[in-house]
Structure 1
């Protein structure tokens, strides 16, 4: 074969390879993590990364935030609906691994991600248009922030809710310090410290969701919602109530924590995490022992930060809670346990984090208080 033909063949192969690469780049550009569309009089946000359980990243936050603002100011948009693609997850959380990598090297993502995520959480909490989150599938961390501050949250039998942050050296952020202490009794503190998982109808019974609708009825519900003409919040309530009344799945099952609610209120009533652990150990019941064992695996620093966060958040506005949580997020970025927790749970998956300090007693009040200190110029502003 002549050199010319060889060269031509090589060039052609290179050209095809380049075309393939460009094609792939274009397809990843036209495959956004978020779909934003107008359906009838509704603005519809679809979180569209099903392969990674719809994990939330900064690009997605930067797409949702301005669009939400546009719809809020648009006379042609009456409601906003947010949903997850793929059926497995609404949104399983923030893209924590990327944040960890940035945090290790002092990259801007560790600052920008939390700042912009919390600004979006606040925009959802203050949205003047009825905001309806269809929280089907896994709803954790960042996914909770995208839903729980909205006016309506609809769970299905496939919903799995948790705030498992103390297991990775973080704290239940995205406004967790606002909504958790407002749940009944000490339930919010219990969920925050232990990362306990609520499923299906229990997500509504706990007060995290406002409604429960069977999964198979969700397409019909969406159709009815987008067809509403200039609905008031009461009109939407009526539609959701009627779908809830048609949903009988698990209706006869009691709330999973029903028989433990008075125990939770009693055992988790303490001015310190050490006090809670003492209560649990002294109680000695199977339930108490299980919770004590769970807490023993969590980051001691995270447990103490979370306890103080919820105590303070109980009397603050959502905005003030988010300012506080931004300070805490940056303290975690400067600390040790977040990186170690992500390594143990998400990267190496050995589930054996080496916390530092390793016991509650070694975490001083002073070190916890420092996490809540103002960042001055760098504080979160709305």
Structure 2
């Protein structure tokens, strides 16, 4: 990554997105063999298969197991199934569920700056450790990335899976190419290579990250070496319900 061309890692990421797209939209029969631990991304891919073969060695939680056996791709059917596993939990006092109201209040703000201001106001009223930790994490994070991914999450609420793949691909392309910033490589250097955990972000502050810089990361890359993500159009595109 340090010495190679920026298109090399992008090629891998493009293939990964194409695989995910194939699984979530393909109408042809796909068989997945689930043997052993199947959680997270692996379980998500396997659940999209037409035929799911689950061995006695498979380890899935109850909800994942029920989703494996569902026969309909209808969103309401899946939502109803999930609802059957939903109950008001008797959570501990320090559980994140106790913070949902505050989390929703703070993170519903329109900008990263306003989210931070809202968290700081909450901290003034009640000295809770999770707020301090959240503010600390955000202060150490890449300013450009904070704004990019807030916009990505907001855009994704009204997009189908194909549209999300395209804008994710553009974001990663610009990061690898250093179109707007060298932050991806700087973060990798500080965390994975030199391991000094002291990345020098550029831009270094949220106020230095312009709206144009963020918007640029969602556009197509203006470079002859950039390969456009080509996903075949399929009729069974999923629109996320959040």
Pick one of 106, 120, 127 that aligns with 1:281: 120
Work out whether 1:233 is the aligned partner of 2:70: yes
Alpha-carbon spacing, 1:307–1:107, altered in 2? closer, same or farther (3 Å) = closer
Aligned residue number for residue 381 of structure 1: 230
Q: Distance in 1 between matches of 2:45 and 2:58?
A: 24
Query: 1:320-356 deviations in whole A, cap 9, x for unaligned?
Result: 1111111100111122111011111111222111111
Alpha-carbon spacing, 1:309–1:108, altered in 2? closer, same or farther (3 Å) = same
Q: In proportion to residue count, which structure has more strand?
A: 1
Matches within 5 A, 1:89-128: 100-101=1-2, 104-127=3-26
Q: Distance in 1 between matches of 2:32 and 2:99?
A: 33
SS of residue in 1 equivalent to 2:57: helix
Aligned residue number for residue 327 of structure 1: 170
SS of residue in 1 equivalent to 2:149: helix
- The answer as to whether partners of 1:135 and 1:147 remain within 8 angstroms in 2 is no
1:135 offset after TM fit, Å?
9.2
1:289 offset after TM fit, Å?
2.0
Aligned residue number for residue 257 of structure 1: 96
Alpha-carbon spacing, 1:131–1:220, altered in 2? closer, same or farther (3 Å) = closer
Pick one of 207, 213, 225 that aligns with 1:367: 213
- The answer as to whether partners of 1:273 and 1:303 remain within 8 angstroms in 2 is yes
Q: Distance in 2 between matches of 1:300 and 1:276?
A: 13
Alpha-carbon spacing, 1:312–1:281, altered in 2? closer, same or farther (3 Å) = same
Q: Distance in 1 between matches of 2:143 and 2:37?
A: 32
- Which gives a bigger RCO, structure 1 or 2 (Cα 8 Å, sep 6+)? 2
Alpha-carbon spacing, 1:136–1:374, altered in 2? closer, same or farther (3 Å) = same
1:234 offset after TM fit, Å?
4.6
Alpha-carbon spacing, 1:134–1:277, altered in 2? closer, same or farther (3 Å) = farther
- The answer as to whether partners of 1:313 and 1:321 remain within 8 angstroms in 2 is yes
> TM-score when scaled to structure 2?
0.67
Larger Rg: 1
Query: 1:260-317 deviations in whole A, cap 9, x for unaligned?
Result: 1111111101111111111111110422222111111110111111001111111111
> TM-score when scaled to structure 1?
0.44
1:121 offset after TM fit, Å?
1.5
Q: Distance in 2 between matches of 1:275 and 1:135?
A: 44
Matches within 5 A, 1:181-330: 219=57, 233-234=70-71, 256-284=95-123, 285=126, 286=128, 287-330=130-173
1:367 offset after TM fit, Å?
0.6
Query: 1:62-97 deviations in whole A, cap 9, x for unaligned?
Result: xxxxxxxxxxxxxxxxxxxxxxxxxxxxxxxxxxxx
Unaligned runs of 5+ in 1: 1-99, 153-216, 223-230, 236-240, 246-250
- The answer as to whether partners of 1:130 and 1:233 remain within 8 angstroms in 2 is no
Query: 1:84-122 deviations in whole A, cap 9, x for unaligned?
Result: xxxxxxxxxxxxxxxx33xx5425412211111111121
Aligned residue number for residue 47 of structure 2: 151
Q: When the two structures are aligned, how many residues end up with a matched partner?
A: 192
Pick one of 190, 193, 204 that aligns with 1:358: 204
Q: Distance in 2 between matches of 1:293 and 1:218?
A: 44
Unaligned runs of 5+ in 2: 49-54, 61-67, 73-80, 232-242
